[in-house]
Amino acid sequence: MRWRFLWLLCATGWWGAEGKTLRGGFASAAARLEPWQPVARFQFHGDHAVLCVRINNVAVAVTKEARLHLFKAQEWQKLQNSIQQHSCTEKFSKAQLTMTVNHTEQNLTVSQIPYPETWYVFYVDKFTCEENYSESEDIQFEMVLLNPDAEGNPLDHFSAGEYGLHEFFFLLVLAYFLTACIYAQSLWQTIKKRGPMHTVLKVLSVALLLQAGSAFANYLHFSSYSKDGIGAPFMGSLAELCDIVSQIQMLYLLLSLCMGWTIGRMKKSYSRPLQWDSTPTSTGIAVAVVVTQSFLLIWEQFEDTNHHSYHSHHGLASGLLIGLRVCLALSLAAGLYQIITVERSTLKREFYITFAKACILWFLCHPCLATISVIFREYQREKIITIGVILCQCISMVILYRLFLSHSLYWEVSSLSSVTLPLTVSSGHKNRHHF
Looking at residue 312, what is its pLDDT? 52
Beta-strand (E) ranges in 65-149? 67-72, 97-100, 105-110, 117-124, 139-148
Looking at residue 419, what is its pLDDT? 41
Distance of alpha carbon 280 from alpha carbon 425, whole angstroms: 10
Answer yes or no: are the C-beta atoms of 105 and 54 closer than 8 Å. yes
Looking at residue 421, what is its pLDDT? 42
| Tens place of pLDDT per residue across the chain (435 aa) | 333 333 333 333 333 345 588 989 998 888 888 778 899 999 998 888 999 999 988 999 999 999 999 999 999 988 888 767 788 888 899 999 999 999 999 999 998 788 898 999 999 998 888 877 777 889 999 999 999 988 888 889 999 888 899 999 999 999 999 999 999 998 888 888 876 677 788 889 999 999 999 999 999 999 999 988 888 888 988 998 898 889 888 887 887 776 654 443 333 433 333 333 445 565 567 677 878 888 887 777 776 655 444 445 567 877 888 888 888 888 877 777 777 777 677 777 787 788 888 988 998 999 999 899 999 988 898 899 999 999 999 999 999 998 888 755 544 555 443 344 444 333 334 343 333
Q: Quick one: DSSP state of residue 17?
A: B
Mention every residue, 6+ apart, whose C-beta is less than 8 A from residue 256: 262, 274, 276, 286
Looking at residue 263, what is its pLDDT? 43
Judge if the upstream peptide bond of residue 114 is cis by omega within 30 degrees of 0: no
Looking at residue 209, what is its pLDDT? 95
Distance of alpha carbon 237 from alpha carbon 217, whole angstroms: 9
Amino acid identity, residue 427? S
Looking at residue 206, what is its pLDDT? 93
DSSP states of 170-213: HHHHHHHHHHHHHHHHHHHHHHHTT-TTHHHHHHHHHHHHHHHH
Looking at residue 19, what is its pLDDT? 54
Mention every residue, 6+ apart, whose C-beta is less than 8 A from residue 49: 109, 110, 111, 113, 145, 146, 147, 148, 154
